Amino acid sequence: MIFTDSLKKNTDFKNVYSKGKSKANRYFVVYVLENGKEYNRIGVSVSKKTGNSVERHRIKRLIKESYRLHEKMFNSGLDIVVIARSGAADLSFKYVESALLHLLKLHKVYNEGF
């Protein structure tokens, strides 16, 4: 990810949860908060309710890859946290990409014009 760093600290996640705005659909919940920097930071959270470790890691990879492919079209200076719901374990890449872009469009951080 060229323009993006990752959220790693628990305090960063809690900050986005408490101060950020959330939107949800059937498969994901996305929190967005401005970070005051020139780049985005993304964090992915998948609970054990979603599946075993192989399924959870697969969902994380699909989310990060769909973000990476559209990275140039996002506004910068944001902290983004994506939480996968239990129904996301069975999705193909196209459904993950579609659901994630749908939520980011609702947050108005995705510009299709690029």
Rg (the chain; Cα; Å): 13
Q: Which residues pair with 44 in a beta bridge?
A: 82
2: pLDDT confidence band, cut at 50, 70 and 90? Answer: low
The domain locations on the chain are 4-106
For the domain covering 4-106, report its CATH number.
3.30.230.10
pLDDT in tens, 51-61: 899 999 999 99
Task: State the pTM of this model.
Answer: 0.90
In terms of DSSP bridges, do strands 4-6 and 28-34 run parallel, antiparallel, or are they unpaired? Answer: unpaired
- Please determine, for residue 27, whether its predicted confidence score (pLDDT) is greater than 60: yes
